[in-house]
Amino acid sequence: MNNSLFILAIFWGVWIIIPVVFDGFLTFIYMIYILIKAPKPHPHQLDPGLLPKVSIIIPTYNEEENINECLNYLKIQTYPQEKIEIIVVDNGSTDETSEIVKSHMKEIWQNQKSEIRNPKQIQNSKFENGNHNGLNGKLKVDGQTFQTNGFGGLLRLIVRYEKGKAKALNTGIKLAGGEIIINIDCRSFLAPDAIYNMVAKFIEYPEYGAATGNVEIDWNLLYERKANGQYVFDGHGHYQPRFLSRKEKFLGKSQFMEYLTSFRIGRQFQDITGSIYTFSGAFSAFRRQVLLKSRLYSSRTVAEDTDLTLDLHGQNVRLGYAEEAKAFLKPVISFEKFYAQRIRWHRGQIEVIGLHLDFYGNFRQGFGRAFWHSILLVIDHTFGFPRIIWTFLLPLFFLFGYSVTLILQAIILMYAFYVLVDFLNACYCWRIADKETRQKIKNTLHYAFVTPIFRLITFYFRFAAYLEVLKEPQAWTTPINPIKSVKGYRETVRGGYQKTSSLGNKIWQIITGRKVKPTIYEEKIAEMDSFGLERTGDLTGEQKEIVIDTNLKPVNNGKKMDGLYQSFDYKER
């Protein structure tokens, strides 16, 4: 009898108590702590004359599909546009990326030189990139329509041929003239008030040296396209939303729930406790002097954002989270791309841990920071393996004398527990979110019933990342460069997700009775970008800034054109 009770206690302890303690109880702590400590959202009343200049760095490589939309979202910012400098660093794209940027530059220059101040005149102006802006320059964000023509800031284009995203970012940083430097991905689309709210964070909290933005998944950014990639417009001149299959909705809206919890609860809690684990590559901002004192971005890991985050922690820089500065991302809606994304995320996380082992558990740099970083590793890694192993073993427990009824009860209770956790997370985020995000939460709340399946999929992909790292020949004692042979790495990942996708498609077909239709047009994802790493025979790192042809005579020996654009050669030191 006692032996049976002991076995039952072990069984239920592993399957119920541990999940409750580490997932349920910690989530409850996060929520209570945020309610008590987090500042309340409020309108920011900033003196326009005292606002600092802002530089936005956008590294690109073969991004003709996204660069227009990214720039258009920046051109509708409510921040004083004369204080915005956009620097696009093109890593030698072989498509039309640079040409598209130059057409935006020409539009901006013509608007500024003609001194058009009538919004109607600007809207009706026809430029080469008129189609890039949508019909008549219209852009729809959260149900509101904005005009993208008439931007009053500065747009610069740097074309370089040296390989790697980290070096592209560092090039933009060294050329930036703003007091606040914001780094975004080409697939990041900033809300109209994102820059204003990000700068407000730095002004209201002078102790902050860097901050990550609030990144939100928006499936409405997935637009209908033709087979050649061109957008399809509706009758009002807006991009036509794409019709999503059940599988695509499952991935897209589950990612919305995941990001919602990760940023609205996770990043907010890390901000309060001073334990920001990683900046978001999609949207992060830095004080210029803080960034230039760091080692900047490094190519020694695929997670350059996390590497820089821990570098700044080591310098005792106060890092934070700007909850009101929002950036939108398109969801990954194919299992192939999702597999590649998560492989790279967790592979990079493991690499960074290996490079910063002296940081973890170092309570001399702050108890709260060291404690919560350690807890995060325990949850993400230490308990990641048991979850995978027990999932495989659970169906076999009847071989050890457990009844099928007991096993089914454990599975149902666990699943119900995680459904409840996700439901509470969504309700809590609804309470603290803005009106637009609340509407999205209402539209996805029922996905709490399937997000436990999404969690399980991510656990399997994370386990695949562990195995991928274990295959690396390098030792942890020396700095590694896993993207040195990115071609082979991408082929390995591609082979893995093709096998996973084939199995997933077969299971989906059995469940739904429908065949998976081929995708006419497939979105790219940042995690599979090479930034030219696969090129051979490149130039020696020389680069140039592109100056639009304005038919004006250059001054100062050709180095300046009307005071707006500069052209010079620059070699990274």
Distance CA 157, CA 544 (A): 9
Distance CA 200, CA 54 (A): 12
Distance, C-alpha 573 to centroid of its chain: 29
Distance CA 526, CA 282 (A): 9
Work out the angle at residue 291's Cα, subtended by the Cα atoms of residues 287 and 297, and round it to the nearest 5 degrees: 140
3-state secondary structure of 154: strand
Which pLDDT does position 537 carry in this prediction? 52
Tokens of residue 112, six digits: 């500024």
Tell which residue, 464, 466, 471, 470, has the closest CA to residue 497: 464
Q: Are 302 and 347 in contact (CB under 8 A)?
A: yes
Q: Say what the pTM is.
A: 0.79
For residue 555, the cross-strand partners are 560
Distance CA 180, CA 342 (A): 30
3-state secondary structure of 198: helix
Could you say which DSSP state residue 357 is in? T
Work out the angle at residue 202's Cα, subtended by the Cα atoms of residues 200 and 207, and round it to the nearest 5 degrees: 145
Which own/partner pairs from 305-311 qualify as long-range (CB within 8 Å, at least 24 positions apart)?
A: 305/278, 305/279, 305/280, 305/281, 306/277, 306/278, 306/279, 306/348, 306/349, 306/352, 307/352, 307/355, 307/356, 308/279, 309/276, 309/277, 309/278, 309/279, 310/352, 310/356, 310/359
Residue with tokens 């100062």: 556
For residue 146, the cross-strand partners are 139
* Angle between the N-to-C axes of helices 246-261 and 404-432, in degrees from 0 to 180, rounded to the nearest 10: 70
3-state secondary structure of 285: strand
Give just the sign of the alpha carbon dihedral 445, 448, 451, 455: positive
Tokens of residue 212, six digits: 């990550």
One digit per residue, the tens of pLDDT, for the chain of length 573 reads 455 666 666 666 666 666 666 677 778 888 888 888 877 776 677 888 889 999 999 999 988 888 988 999 999 999 999 999 999 999 888 888 999 999 898 888 887 766 544 444 444 333 344 444 454 566 777 767 777 777 888 999 999 877 788 889 999 999 999 999 999 999 899 999 999 999 999 999 999 999 999 999 999 888 888 777 677 877 777 778 888 888 899 999 999 999 999 999 989 988 988 888 889 889 999 999 999 998 899 888 888 888 898 889 888 899 999 999 999 999 998 888 888 888 888 788 778 877 777 666 565 666 666 666 666 766 666 666 666 666 677 777 777 777 788 778 878 888 888 899 899 999 999 988 888 999 999 999 999 999 988 988 888 887 777 776 666 543 333 333 333 334 444 455 455 545 555 555 555 555 555 554 544 444 555 544 555 555 555 554 555 555 554 443 333 333 332 333 333 333 333
